[in-house]
Every structure is written in structure tokens, then in C-alpha cells.
Amino acid sequence: MPVNLRGRHLLWLKDYQPEEIRFLLDLAVSLKEKKRAGVKGNLLAGKNVALIFEKPSTRTRCAFTVACLDEGGHAEYLGKNDIQLGHKEDVRDTARVLGRMFDGIQFRGFKQSTVEELARFAGVPVWNGLTDSYHPTQALADVMTIQENFGDVKGLKLVYVGDGRNNVANSLMIISSKLGMHFVIAAPKELYPDEALLKECRSEGEKHGAVIEVFEDPREAVKGAHAVYTDVWASMGEEEKLAERIKLLRPYQVNSDLMSLADKDAIFLHCLPAVKGNEVTEEVFESAQSKVFDEAENRLHTIKAVIVATIGNL
């Protein structure tokens, strides 16, 4: 049965079936080939997209903007000082106004509840560009990058090292459980993932042959990994915790010694921006194993796939 995602939100990937995720990844591959060939598209002709940003961004903002332009659409950036969201106007009213004017809405901000409320009242697809809880478009780009290097991701070992309860770790755990991957978090016990989400992903993973594990010892976790992933030690909004995190997470730095324990063909991934010298060394970041800029480019292609699949003229 053909996959049809028209009108769907993308809030966290929990409610996407494996075949729907694979459809988005396959679409992203074809859109990447199209762009590389210099073919200008019209799959978003006449479509207007609102981009709401409470948090700053390089990759997410640029990816959504270029994705729309590449396929003949228009993206309107709405920074936190440009609209009344959550200040003079509540979320539901903002959603209902923007939903009358735009064909889709991207939200990048703090609370997961905000993007969910936008989706509840907008009447058009809403996409999560990042919240404190989830980062689904990043996870799609990450898996696309792994796929480009290894082919089918089923059974591949992806190890996330560092803050095991942040938005990226959460989203990688969800997508791994859907696609039958072997996903491992290496983190100090203070930063283990949420127990309820861990249980939910393990249950989902059983249906698709996925293995979800958590280790305190990063060296044990990384053994045989096909991809080693890390992120900043203090996420946006947690800057005051940086000194404490540096002390806690120093043993979890991804360096050449840690990478040597992974598979000989292992790749290094990071959602960026990176604080080199903290979560990853310059040596690993600039090594041949590092695929971080392929990964960054793939934000564009996977985000374009999401927009096209949900509001485009497919």
C-alpha cells in the first residue's frame, strides 16, 4: 500500500511507522540527487511556510528556507520578537491565525507542549524543528547519513555518547527502535534517558528487531559501533550547567582512543554546533571518519522530504 503523509504533523516520530520513515528517507535521497543535478523543482509551488524560532539556528533555519525555495515555495521567518506567541497572544490563537495564512508551520523552541498545541489548533501540518524533548528532523538526517555509508541500517550499531536524556538522544532512540537498529547510550547515571521513554522504545524495538541499551562505561558501549555520535554537553537553555557538565562528562569525550574501539569503518556524527575540546577532539572532528558536514547537508534533504510529503504536490 502506497505511503501517504499528506496533512501529517511531525512532532516526534513516535507516531510514524517504519515504512513511513523509510519513505521519507527514500524521498530525501531522490531530492538530494535532484538538487545535485541542478534540477529546479515545483513540488511546493504556491506553498507558504511559517518558520517560528524561539531558539537560534543555523542548519534548521537554512534547511527549511532553502528546501522551500528549491521547490518553488516561500518560507517566512518569524523570530521570537516578530510575533506575539506566548506573550500578548496565546499559542492556540497564534496557531489559528497562522493556519489561515500558511500551508505549514515549523516550530523551534523550548517546550514540546508548544509544538503540540500548535498542531492541535493550526489546521495545517506542524513540524518540530527542535524542542527541549525531541529533534526529529535531526534524527532523519542522521539515519540518512548512516545509510549513505553502510546501506540498510537494520542491525547497525549506533552509539550516542554524553548527555543521554537530551532531545537528540531521545529522537535517535525512537528512530532506532522503528528501524531495527542497535542503539546504545553511554552516559553517567545522572544523565540516563527517561525511564518511561526507554521502556517505550524497547517495547517498540522488539517489534522490529531493534536492541536498545544504556551503559555507564563509554568504552564498553562503543565496542564494535558502526557510528559514534555526540552532542554538546549543555543544551540551549542549560548554559549555567556547563561547568558541572564538563566535570561530569569529561570521561565521555569522543577522542581517537574511544573511536579505536569502534568498528574499523566506523563514522563519527555530531548534530552541530560542536564545542571542540569538550565533547569531541579536533582530531576526531576533522578526521576521515567524521561525516558531520554530510550530516549537516542532509538536514536540507530530509527536511525538504518532510515538507514535500506533507504539503507538497507529489
Could you give the domains of the chain? 18-134+298-311 (3.40.50.1370), 136-295 (3.40.50.1370)
What is the percent of the chain with per-residue pLDDT over 70, rounded to a whole number? 99
Tell me how far apart the alpha carbons of residues 307 and 314 are, in angstroms, rounded to a whole number.
11
Q: Are 211 and 182 in contact (CB under 8 A)?
A: yes
Known binding-site residues equal 57-60, 84, 108, 135-138, 167, 231, 235-236, 271-272, 299
How confident is the model at residue 1, as a pLDDT?
56
C-alpha cell at 40: 529546479
Q: What is the pLDDT of residue 237?
A: 73
Cβ pair 42, 69 in contact under 8 A: no
For 270-307, how does the pLDDT look when each residue is reduced to its tens digit (9 = 90+)? 999 999 999 999 999 999 999 999 999 999 999 999 99
Instruction: Tell me the mean pLDDT per 10 residues along the chain, length 314.
Output: 92 98 98 97 98 95 98 96 81 96 97 98 98 98 98 98 97 98 98 98 98 98 98 84 93 98 98 97 98 98 98 94
Q: pTM for this one?
A: 0.97
The residues assigned a catalytic role are: 108, 135, 138, 231, 271, 299
Per-residue pLDDT at 86: 63
Annotated binding site for L-ornithine: 167, 231, 235-236
Question: What pLDDT score was predicted for residue 83?
Answer: 87
Q: What is the per-residue pLDDT for 251?
A: 98
3-state secondary structure 52-97: EECCCCCHHHHHHHHHHHHCCCEEEEEECCCCCECCCECHHHHHHH
pLDDT value of position 314? 86
pLDDT in the model for residue 240: 86
Strand arrangement, sheet containing 126-130: 74-79, 48-53, 104-108, 126-130
Task: Report d(CA 109, CA 114) in Å as an integer.
Answer: 8
The separation between CA 29 and the C-alpha centre of its own chain, rounded to angstroms, equals 16
Residue 209 Rama label (left phi>0; alpha psi -120 to 50; beta): left
Q: Write out pLDDT tens, residues 173-198.
A: 999 999 999 999 999 999 999 999 99
Q: Which residues contact 267 (CB under 8 A, 6 or more apart)?
A: 145, 146, 149, 226, 227, 228, 289, 290, 291
- If DSSP codes are grouped into helix, strand and coil, which group holds residue 2? coil
Q: Binding site for carbamoyl phosphate: which residues?
A: 57-60, 84, 108, 135-138, 271-272, 299
Query: Three-class SS of residue 160?
Result: strand
Position 46 scores a pLDDT of 98
